A and B are shown apart, each in its own frame.
Chain A
Amino acid sequence: MKLLRRTGDKMVFQVDLRESVLLQQTLKLYPRVPPAHQPLSNSGKLPDPQENQRLLDDALADHRAANKKQVQAFVTDPRRFKPIEDGFRLSLTRPDAEWLLQVLNDVRVGSWLILGSPEERPKAPTAKTTPDFWAMEIAGYFQEQLLESLMGDGT
């Protein structure tokens, strides 16, 4: 995945055939972080903590549901992936790229949780951990490419 050009808010990437398959398969794994995973507070010293936690969980669940629909639309939208000789041209606006970062990081963190939240990056996957290990690695690869493009614009 290579940034070809950036014009204002719009970025165009070149994605080879293998990358396009990997990106679409990775996105289809969303969501991977389990619902109600994140506490609102560590100390719990908030007014009405249960109600506030519920509101946060509901807000994140709505966000996740909207993202899931958007993932479906993204991977099936023919205008997103325009075929070229040796792959595709992927067009993203800046908000698209931000959204994609969130989705990819969910897949990455969720896969890491499934792997047992290891402190160190696993060196080599076992037969059992291979799918989750590679989901984490591939999501990370696309995140890196997006971050480089987003952070390279001086913001």
Chain B
Amino acid sequence: MAATATPEIAPVVVQEPQDKPKSGLEPGYLVVCWNDPVNYMHYVTHVFQMVFGWSRKKAEFHMLQVHEQGKSILARESMEKAEHYVHELQKYTLHATMERDE
């Protein structure tokens, strides 16, 4: 009796769902706050809380990032929303800009 060959079953590779490619993501502008030697640290914390509605803890985290690393990315938004945030931060005389997320 001839041995019957067991058909080989190739393992099915299950693909993990991937994030959409970056180019397909909306929005795509970063709101960045830069360090300066003049603004008080707790003033910066307070402004982040007011502008973004963040908790004290989150605002302090970003303030320390600005202080220690020279900048912090505060948000990634559509162009209009990023402009709005930059305007709000600049009203408080913080050094904030928006940059295209590349």
Scan residues 34-72 of chain B and give those whose CB is less than 8 A from a CB of chain A: 34, 37-40, 42-43, 45-46, 49-50, 56
Q: Give how many B residues have a beta carbon under 8 Å from the other chain's beta carbons.
A: 29
Check if A102 sits within 8 Å of B42, measured CB to CB. Answer: no
30 example contacts (A-B, Cβ-Cβ < 8 A) are as follows: A38-B95, A40-B97, A41-B98, A41-B100, A42-B32, A42-B97, A45-B100, A46-B100, A47-B79, A56-B86, A56-B87, A60-B87, A60-B90, A60-B91, A63-B91, A101-B43, A101-B46, A101-B92, A102-B91, A105-B39, A105-B43, A108-B38, A108-B93, A109-B93, A117-B38, A120-B37, A143-B43, A147-B40, A147-B42, A151-B42
Contact surface of A with B, Cβ cutoff 8 Å: 33, 38-43, 45-47, 52, 55-56, 59-60, 63, 98, 101-102, 105-106, 108-109, 112, 117-120, 140, 143-144, 147, 150-151, 155
